[in-house]
Amino acid sequence: MTSPNTSTSFYDFSVKTAADSTLALADLRNQVVLVVNVASKCGFTSQYAGLESIYREYKAQGFTILGFPCNQFGGQEPGSNDEIQQFCSLQYEVSFPIMSKVEVNGDNSAPVYKWLKASAPGILGTEAIKWNFTKFLVGKNGQVLNRYSPQTDPKEISSDIQKALKA
């Protein structure tokens, strides 16, 4: 794996799954991927339903979502990986992959998040993620197509997903 500063593609990274195995993002090559930092006790947690809806709508066309639990915003994801999996399954019937808990900001930020933020800075060019449910849409070529705020409803991303799938 290369460092975030020298990586040129989403596919250069590997991440930990909730089961503590390694997922090489190269395994998702030629898919459109929505990366979201998620939390179980957030005002935006209900977005799990919308995320699951777009996942089910587009997954057969080569689309996936990777949820990365993060406890950096108001302690809104305090659970263990197992507890997070149970919550997602029982409360929202989430079937898209939920990864191992990560940090998305600071010195211990997951390398893939360092790369995502550098590839698609937020408002006024800031790279820091402001809150849970910030979303990054990655195209089939492994490049970030867009960054969406936590307030962006998953359904609002559908047209961008459709365009990316046709590209």
- Which residues are catalytic, by number? 42
Strand 14-16, strand 63-69: pairing = unpaired
Write out the two tokens for 89.
């399954």
Q: Tokens 């898919």 sit at which residue? A: 31
H/E run at residue 14: strand 14-16
- Indicate the residue type of 14: S
d(CA 87, CA 109): 24
Bridge partners for 67 per DSSP: 36, 98
